Amino acid sequence: MRSESRLIRWICWIVVVAALFFLGFMIGWFAKPSHPNTPEDRDSSIYLREFLDEMQSDKIREHLRKFTRLPHLAGTEQNLKYAVQIKTEWLAFGLDSVEMVPYDVLLSYPNETQPNYISIVDQHGTEIFNTSFAEPLPEGYEDISNIVPPYSAFSAKGQPEGDLVYVNYGRTEDFLQLEREMDINVTGKIVIVRYGKIFRGNKVKNAILAGAQGIIMFSDPADYWATGVQPYPDGWNLPGGGAQRGNVLNLNGAGDPLTPGYPAKEYTYRFKLEDAVGLPKIPVHPIGFHDAVHLLKNMGGQIPPNNWKGALNISYRIGPGFTNDFRSQKVRMNIYTNNKVSRIYNVIGRIRGALEPDRYVILGGHRDAWVFGGIDPMSGAAVVHEMVRSAGKLLSKGWRPRRTIIFASWDAEEFGLQGSTEWAEENAKLLQERAVAYINADSAIEGMYTLRVDCTPSLHTLVYDITKQIASPEEGEEGVSLYESWHKRDNWTNDRDAPRISKLGSGSDFEAYFIRLGIAAGRARYTKNKNTERYSSYPVYHSVYETFEIVEKFYDPSFKRLRVVAQVRGSLVFQLADSKILPLNLNEYANSLSKYAQSIARLAQNHMDEMRTYNVSFDSLFSAVENFTLAASGFHERLQDLNKADSLQVRAMNDQLMYLERAFIDPLGLPGRPFYRHVIFAPSSHNKYAGESFPGIYDALFDIENSPDPEKSWDEVKRQISIAAFTVHAAAMTLTRPA
Amino acid sequence: MRSESRLIRWICWIVVVAALFFLGFMIGWFAKPSHPNTPEDRDSSIYLREFLDEMQSDKIREHLRKFTRLPHLAGTEQNLKYAVQIKTEWLAFGLDSVEMVPYDVLLSYPNETQPNYISIVDQHGTEIFNTSFAEPLPEGYEDISNIVPPYSAFSAKGQPEGDLVYVNYGRTEDFLQLEREMDINVTGKIVIVRYGKIFRGNKVKNAILAGAQGIIMFSDPADYWATGVQPYPDGWNLPGGGAQRGNVLNLNGAGDPLTPGYPAKEYTYRFKLEDAVGLPKIPVHPIGFHDAVHLLKNMGGQIPPNNWKGALNISYRIGPGFTNDFRSQKVRMNIYTNNKVSRIYNVIGRIRGALEPDRYVILGGHRDAWVFGGIDPMSGAAVVHEMVRSAGKLLSKGWRPRRTIIFASWDAEEFGLQGSTEWAEENAKLLQERAVAYINADSAIEGMYTLRVDCTPSLHTLVYDITKQIASPEEGEEGVSLYESWHKRDNWTNDRDAPRISKLGSGSDFEAYFIRLGIAAGRARYTKNKNTERYSSYPVYHSVYETFEIVEKFYDPSFKRLRVVAQVRGSLVFQLADSKILPLNLNEYANSLSKYAQSIARLAQNHMDEMRTYNVSFDSLFSAVENFTLAASGFHERLQDLNKADSLQVRAMNDQLMYLERAFIDPLGLPGRPFYRHVIFAPSSHNKYAGESFPGIYDALFDIENSPDPEKSWDEVKRQISIAAFTVHAAAMTLTRPA
């Protein structure tokens, strides 16, 4: 071989080798993805399945048993002990961190040496009948101490004496009817009303506005007794000796009455008691129906309309005072309840997010109970505990959610949502910027019929999606999804063919997060059949009979319903924390806004002439809603086209989703209620329109109906429509911009 | 060759080929970076240099010439024409979008058929002296129409008649001195005060509180005349016939007086005039010193203390009324000014951010002028115009900033910051979530001495950095940096050896962005030597003599000073929009907070005994500041270690930097002032403490000094300290969390 030809061959070789190498290099270079492909979505759904499957009925039963042995009222030693235990167990379950967060807030307790009671006194002032000091204790709990007797927390002290007037449920319309149709003035009288229909604090407010010097609330069997059911312990009805505890504040979202707007820390300025928010100025007391019969049976005065009559075997006369034979007898309230600044403890656990630790999904529910809290709140707390255990298991398998999850065990919910509100106040700036959603975890069960979900409209779709992945807990429904089971039992008929989802109201710990801060929120529990079961909440609500046994024997013997609630709440938290794109549907928000706007406009049509006179129109609101609807659908179209590998773009669109709920917050608040700031969802000031959206407009319309100055009142309606229209436009803008 | 050996050779071949290919593939795979390395920081600084170099003095001169030919008061045709022209030119310069954004707000104009003036009337009611209806027109402008005569915008109408009382500058302390030391009650009197020291609206408020039925403000040469300088047109002093226009509102950040809190759109509810925010209830009028002499020279009553005496050749007696010889003469104000809802137009231009379009850096300054606006605001608007032109040039070279830049030409600033405030109201939700910083661009020059910068503490470092990159505009300072030139002229002596940077006060368009929304903000302009030039603002301020020529002949003949201001404002905007890590220094914020806390605690020490009696302490505030200081330094340490290739981590830390300023916002606002919400930086309600930080505490301390109920007042001090401590703690928490 000539060296020349060898050289050529070598050159060929080198060229071939280089070409091959180059080819390999190029293929290698281009084969490697620029944006590492994350198989996270598929992994996430596998982990979700494991998370849900890990939750066990027996464990929930154990948790519930453990945390309902002793009374644990807010501010007591025992509630602190449970807090410490929860902290210890959450850490053992594997959370990244758990801390106790104390606040010093205003609570209220009966005087330990002077019991509260109500008397009938004769003409000599002698007490000839006294209501019971306490409820008869349920079997097995006879030796338990520290059971607080039924009382109205934050009642004023005093011994008012006077004639009784019966005012049905104590609603605005009841007092109006009393004044206008029955011509009875309650100034200086003691009002007696039955529990139910509206929040007890509003009954007290109405009684004060009407001039009463005291108010008694009783549980009427018509409202706290299910037909065909035995009283506890043989069934789940309220015994005649049972009574409903509860606070009688009118806080409107302020939290601790002494530190509105700011967390109750050691350095915080406290109002004087006379400047405290929402304390009633008159004595208030709750009784059961055994006691109520004694107060009511001899009452004189008019016979009331039928819808004022309860189910006791008496004639429900209005008064004032007793019939002729008993005319000289009066009623005296003896109330010695004390307000007291007390230390409360939230327990806050965290799982740090893997990719977006600065985005928070919060699961919060309270721990404090009036007595044992068998249903309220421990059925919910047990579910949370099981969710934490299951999440811990997942962590040990290597999972970590995209975003941070915060678990909260709130204190002093029963005293006005104080634990949750103080924490929201302390963390307001963080939450405003970082909170994706708040899922509430109060009582997980209030009936045995089907699922109940209340949430912000953007969560509708997620709720439907997840309930399709969960099995029905009902006997004989093997292979049926929770969605189907729920759909069958509670269809949304008029609105759409799907299970009913309601608006979030108020009265549980989501208030500060949803109504004050504008964080997307929802809650889920098992509920009764509201078409056939017409009692308020559940019969033993806030009585000593809310025990572990009432759940175990009647509400959920298999603990499968509680498990399903755990799975629903758990799926919500999991998906919100782990989905690459936040599972919020703004088209649903648009639909809801449109319905709400139509509904308020329809109501206003009762005043067509005046609306013409004062030039009032809902057009601007409708046009804002239309604008929002277009913005939402445009946004979701763009979301489809999003390059999911571009983490900044994903983050930016998630931010738009997250902040959408925030856009409905008006920093100025609703008129006179600075802590109710959600323009769409806040409780109306008037129970007549409770549950309606656009509370500012409803409140203004209510005033129309009761105002001496129509021009001024219609002006306020116009102002409120304008605020609503602006807010909806502004929310739309957050979707169409940037840039 | 045997076929076997050929096979082996082939196999060898294939193995070698495969191995080579594999080697190439592997090298290719690993050679490619997982996170593409972005040379953006180096590119960015090259583009910044080009951006600054592109700005030209001659162009600024041209822009200023162009936009000062005609009067362009807010709400007039000409101001709309300039808006259209600006829009057209900004589009031509290359902005991505430019829009006109209209609002219908309350403005105020003199009655065109009934001029405003002030008379001296004799005992028969005959007007024996009238003040001039207008200022003598400057040369070259004699034929210009639509020059609005000097007036006080939003003055009440009326013809009050009475005795004059001279109250120096009309400050709180002046009125107190008048009442307490001079024992003079101004109820029913007409007050005459000199311009200067405080905002004219506060003079009017003080006069109303004191019971006056009218107020006249004059420009005293002591306050509007520089020694050794000729009056315009031979120099830049205020001629005796010139007077200062200006609004006399007390808006406290409300924007349009008829739509506080909401943008003045077509659907927006408007208050009735009697409910409007901040309108004075008495007539108000401004005059020059030629006219003032006639009103003042015959006044009787006491001779005032020396610091009440101006530079006119009169004795500055206090009154009430004239001396004996003229006792029967009274003063009558004739004010016919009308309030009128008028359309105003902001011009909003945008450069869409390349990577974070949902982060905004805003450069905003007003366009409306009292007359020609030669200095206020067009020296600033010309600078903005040149910045836009230069940014457009950069865009054409392929540059695009990381974040979105928004350029705003505000309308109706002179009527109470209305254009900027309405836009902030309309976009509040977007801005709250997305605005990185707001740079203000009002008048770019008010003196010929050196640079003046007012900004939030976190911008200090950036301001120093950029001024080191810019050349001094002063003659004889070739090769000297702006930083050095500025440092030499205005050292911060007591605080540190660096050029002085002041707090942002109030009174220009940054208010809604900084004080209401909590967006980091700053401003820069060229200023006088405040040690030697003691006149207020600049002499011709708000007079017809603010022409193009006054800038060209006196303030900046080379237009190099304006160019330097353009470069400073431009660098701020550029760096904030284009730096990967936001150039905000929170350690500087900590330093400043510490100084402010010390300063208020020092003031309070004047009341040691009472503080002990009422148990008042600043400890909680100091401990909060300490906490913040640690949080800030810890944050900046972590920032050092940040993996800048991780775009989610970069975004998260930038969010913490961005939202830090937001953390100082209290949604409840300062007491009685819902739109002043910055707990650290808002104007005090009392001019005595203007310029101090922690306005809530200062206001409460002021009330101590003037209150009949010390316990209640000290209680408010405690409350304000507690709010300040909470806010600083909460701000610290945004740095230490997540998670």
Is some CB atom of chain A closer than 8 A to the CB atom of B262?
yes
- The DSSP string of A280-340 is -SS-EEEE-HHHHHHHHTTB-BPPPPGGG--SSSS----BSSB-GGGTT-EEEEEB--EEE
Q: Which chain B residues are closer than 8 Å to A734 by Cβ? A: 429-430, 433
Give B 636-675 residues with CB within 8 A of chain A.
647-648, 651-652, 655-656, 659, 662-663, 667-668, 674
Q: Which chain B residues are closer than 8 Å to A512 by Cβ? A: none
Q: What is the DSSP letter of B218?
A: E
Contact between B667 and B676 (Cβ < 8 Å): no
Is some CB atom of chain B closer than 8 A to the CB atom of A433?
yes
Closest CA to A511 of A596, A569, A442: A442
Question: Which one is the CATH code of B45-103+344-578: 2.60.40.1510, 3.40.630.10, 1.25.40.20, 3.90.1010.10?
Answer: 3.40.630.10
Is some CB atom of chain B closer than 8 A to the CB atom of A37?
no
Is some CB atom of chain B closer than 8 A to the CB atom of A84?
no
Does residue B655 have an active-site annotation? yes
Ranges of each domain in chain A: 45-103+344-578, 116-335, 586-734
Mean pLDDT of B445-454: 98
Burial zone of A706 (CB within 10 Å; 0-12 exposed, 13-18 middle, 19+ buried): exposed
Closest CA to A436 of A643, A632, A583, A639: A583
Give A 536-555 residues with CB within 8 A of chain B.
none
Specify the pTM. Answer: 0.94
**Does A116-335 carry CATH code 3.50.30.30?**
yes
Q: How far is CA B215 from CA A88, A470, B194, in A?
A: 71, 75, 10
Radius of gyration of chain A (CA): 29
The CA distance from B507 to the nearest CA of chain A, in Å, is: 23
Q: What's the mean pLDDT when you consider all of chain A?
A: 95
pLDDT of B32 above 60: no
Mean pLDDT of B294-306: 97
The pLDDT of residue B39? 53
Contact between A679 and A474 (Cβ < 8 Å): no
Q: What percent of chain A has pLDDT over 70?
A: 97
Asked if the Cβ–Cβ distance from B269 to A719 is below 8 Å, we say: yes
Is some CB atom of chain A closer than 8 A to the CB atom of B479?
no
Asked if the Cβ–Cβ distance from B739 to A353 is below 8 Å, we say: yes
Could you say which architecture CATH assigns to the domain A586-734?
Up-down Bundle (1.20)
Q: Which chain A residues are closer than 8 Å to B738 by Cβ? A: 352-353, 357-358, 360, 404, 434
pLDDT band, residue B618 (cuts 50/70/90): very high
> Averaging pLDDT over each range in A420-429, B37-46, B691-700, which range is the top one?
A420-429
ipTM, 2 dp: 0.93
pLDDT of B34 above 60: no
Residue B687, both tokens: 């001019």
Q: What percent of chain B has pLDDT over 90?
A: 90
Q: Per the residue annotation, which of B315, B396, B617, B623 is the catalytic one?
A: B617
Tens digits of residue pLDDT in A311-327? 999 999 999 999 999 99
pLDDT of B304 above 50: yes
pLDDT of B28 above 70: no
The pLDDT of residue B738? 67
Mean pLDDT of A371-391: 98
- B425, closest residue in chain A (CA to CA): A730
> Measured between alpha carbons, how far is B276 from B339 in angstroms, rounded to an integer?
11
Cross-strand partners of B335: B158
Give A 703-732 residues with CB within 8 A of chain B.
715, 718-719, 721-723, 725-726, 730-731
pLDDT band, residue A659 (cuts 50/70/90): very high
Is some CB atom of chain A closer than 8 A to the CB atom of B303?
no
pLDDT of A688 above 80: yes
Of A155-159, B531-535, B590-594, where does mean pLDDT reach its minimum?
Answer: B531-535
Tens digits of residue pLDDT in B149-200? 999 999 999 999 999 999 999 999 999 999 999 999 999 999 999 999 999 9
The pLDDT of residue B427? 98
Does residue A413 have an active-site annotation? yes
Asked if the Cβ–Cβ distance from B734 to A34 is below 8 Å, we say: no
The pLDDT of residue A39? 53
Contact between B560 and B566 (Cβ < 8 Å): no
The pLDDT of residue A31? 63
Of B300-304, B401-405, B410-414, B688-692, where does mean pLDDT reach its minimum?
Answer: B688-692
Asked if the Cβ–Cβ distance from B674 to A662 is below 8 Å, we say: no
The pLDDT of residue A36? 45
> Measured between alpha carbons, how far is A573 from A594 in angstroms, rounded to an integer?
28
Tens digits of residue pLDDT in B319-369? 999 999 999 999 999 999 999 999 999 999 999 999 999 999 999 999 999
pLDDT of B37 above 60: no
Tens digits of residue pLDDT in B201-255? 999 999 999 999 999 999 999 999 999 999 999 999 999 999 999 999 999 999 9
Tens digits of residue pLDDT in B545-583? 999 999 999 999 999 999 999 999 999 999 999 999 999
Query: At A363, which helix (H) or strand (E)?
Result: strand A356-366
Is some CB atom of chain A closer than 8 A to the CB atom of B475?
no
pLDDT of A558 above 90: yes
Is some CB atom of chain B closer than 8 A to the CB atom of A21?
yes
Tens digits of residue pLDDT in A635-656? 999 999 999 999 999 999 999 9
pLDDT of A669 above 70: yes
Reported in sequence order, the residue ranges of A136-272 that DSSP labels E, i.e. its strands, are 152-153, 161-162, 164-166, 190-194, 214-218, 246-247
Task: Identify which of B620, B623, B723 has the shortest CB distance to residue A262.
Answer: B723
Asked if the Cβ–Cβ distance from A20 to B25 is below 8 Å, we say: no
The pLDDT of residue B688? 85
Tens digits of residue pLDDT in A124-154? 999 999 999 999 999 999 999 999 999 999 9
Tens digits of residue pLDDT in A169-201? 999 999 999 999 999 999 999 999 999 999 999
The pLDDT of residue A30? 65
Asked if the Cβ–Cβ distance from A723 to B22 is below 8 Å, we say: no
Tens digits of residue pLDDT in A267-287? 999 999 999 999 999 999 999
Is some CB atom of chain A closer than 8 A to the CB atom of B355?
yes
Asked if the Cβ–Cβ distance from A263 to B726 is below 8 Å, we say: yes
Is some CB atom of chain B closer than 8 A to the CB atom of A350?
yes
Query: Going by DSSP bridges, is the β-strand pair B190-194/B164-166 parallel, antiparallel, or unpaired?
Result: parallel
Question: Which is more confident, A27 or A362?
Answer: A362
Does residue A655 have an active-site annotation? yes
Q: At what angle do helices B378-396 and B57-66 cross, to 10 degrees?
A: 130
- B429, closest residue in chain A (CA to CA): A663
Is some CB atom of chain B closer than 8 A to the CB atom of A428?
yes
Of A496-510, B6-20, B41-55, where does mean pLDDT reach its minimum?
Answer: B6-20
Q: What is the DSSP letter of B503?
A: P
The pLDDT of residue B730? 98
| CA torsion through residues B545, B547, B550, B556, sign | positive
A589-604 residues labelled b (16+ CB within 10 A) or e (exposed): bbbbbeebbeebbeeb
- B31, closest residue in chain A (CA to CA): A29
The pLDDT of residue A2? 62
> Measured between alpha carbons, how far is A233 from A332 in angstroms, rounded to an integer?
32
The pLDDT of residue B5? 76
The CA distance from A434 to the nearest CA of chain B, in Å, is: 9
Q: Which chain B residues are closer than 8 Å to A726 by Cβ? A: 262-263, 265, 267-268
For testing contact with chain B, the best of A35, A427, A648, A712 (most B CBs within 10 A): A648
Asked if the Cβ–Cβ distance from B722 to A358 is below 8 Å, we say: no
